[in-house]
């Protein structure tokens, strides 16, 4: 029995030593593979405007697509976009279908347990939107007793309901904003990025933001865990495109302002 225990301890110790040597060898491995291939494979939906979608000519475009192209250029490689549905998009990173996911992936503690993230590159806030001629609603407290156009299962819907609003169910932002415009709803509590995109497309639409939540939600570039060199290289690329004005140009194109914070 003593020999058996000793043997187990010896095996365990050997495994620990092996792991200790194996871990550092992985550092930089993914980055080296990307540079050797000359291509970074980027997972994205392709159906999520204005971030990643197909234009009238069926070309893949969008804010996240241009961010991916700019980051790839700074890394000295070409981007290869691989499209997939959101439900399986992150899992595709586990299956090595691509090297990274750039698709407005929110940075959460749960995801950080399994994956690495770049520094945040875009921020969004919950905003309260009303018609331009609505002076009765000036803040979230004014939603009490008012009709709010919301996706019923969304966090925004729950926030509006908690503020005392009567919910008018919708399929998403586009329908919600239309109900506000046609006065079938008094307001919608929604995503600041969606509003900025809408106003970029329709600057004369008579809607305005009257309040916003101070806390922002951030998205980052999703990366496999374990290669700190790759994370550092992507972070440097993001810092470089912000420093040289590339980020601002992309942000202005899709949102009309800097959306990094």
List domains and CATH numbers for the chain.
12-122+218-255 (3.40.190.10), 126-212 (3.40.190.10)
Looking at residue 1, what is its pLDDT? 44
Give the pTM: 0.81
Pairwise CA distance, residues 257 & 234, whole Å? 23
Looking at residue 5, what is its pLDDT? 38
Looking at residue 26, what is its pLDDT? 55
- pLDDT per residue over 161-190, tens digit each? 999 999 999 988 999 999 999 999 999 999
Whether 11 has a pLDDT exceeding 60, the answer reads no
pLDDT, mean of residues 82-100: 94
61 pLDDT band (50/70/90 cuts)?
A: very high
75 pLDDT band (50/70/90 cuts)?
A: very high
Work out the mean pLDDT of the chain and round it to a whole number.
90
Whether 13 has a pLDDT exceeding 80, the answer reads no
């Amino acid at each position: 029995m003593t020999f058996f225990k000793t043997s187990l301890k010896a095996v365990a110790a050997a495994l620990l030593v092996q792991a200790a040597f194996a871990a550092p060898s992985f550092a930089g491995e993914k980055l080296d593979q990307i540079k050797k291939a000359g291509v970074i494979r980027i997972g994205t939906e392709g159906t999520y405007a204005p971030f990643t979608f197909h234009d009238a000519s069926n070309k893949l475009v969008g804010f996240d697509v241009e961010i991916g192209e700019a980051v790839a250029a700074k890394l000295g490689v070409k981007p290869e976009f691989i499209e997939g549905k959101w439900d399986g998009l992150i899992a595709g990173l586990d299956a090595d279908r691509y090297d990274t996911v750039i698709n407005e992936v929110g940075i959460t503690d749960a995801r950080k347990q399994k994956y690495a993230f770049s520094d945040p590159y875009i921020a969004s806030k919950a905003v309260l939107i009303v018609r331009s001629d609505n002076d009765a609603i000036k803040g979230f407290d004014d939603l009490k007793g008012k009709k709010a156009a919301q996706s019923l299962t969304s966090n925004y819907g729950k926030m509006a309901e908690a503020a005392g609003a009567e919910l008018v169910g919708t399929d998403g932002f586009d329908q919600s904003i239309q109900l506000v415009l046609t006065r079938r709803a008094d307001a919608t509590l929604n995503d600041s990025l969606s509003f900025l995109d809408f106003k970029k497309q329709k600057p004369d639409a008579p809607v305005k933001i009257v309040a916003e939540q101070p806390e922002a939600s951030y998205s980052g570039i999703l990366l496999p865990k374990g290669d700190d060199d790759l994370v550092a290289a992507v972070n440097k690329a993001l810092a470089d495109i912000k420093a040289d004005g590339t980020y601002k140009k992309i942000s202005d194109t899709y949102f009309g302002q800097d959306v990094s914070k």
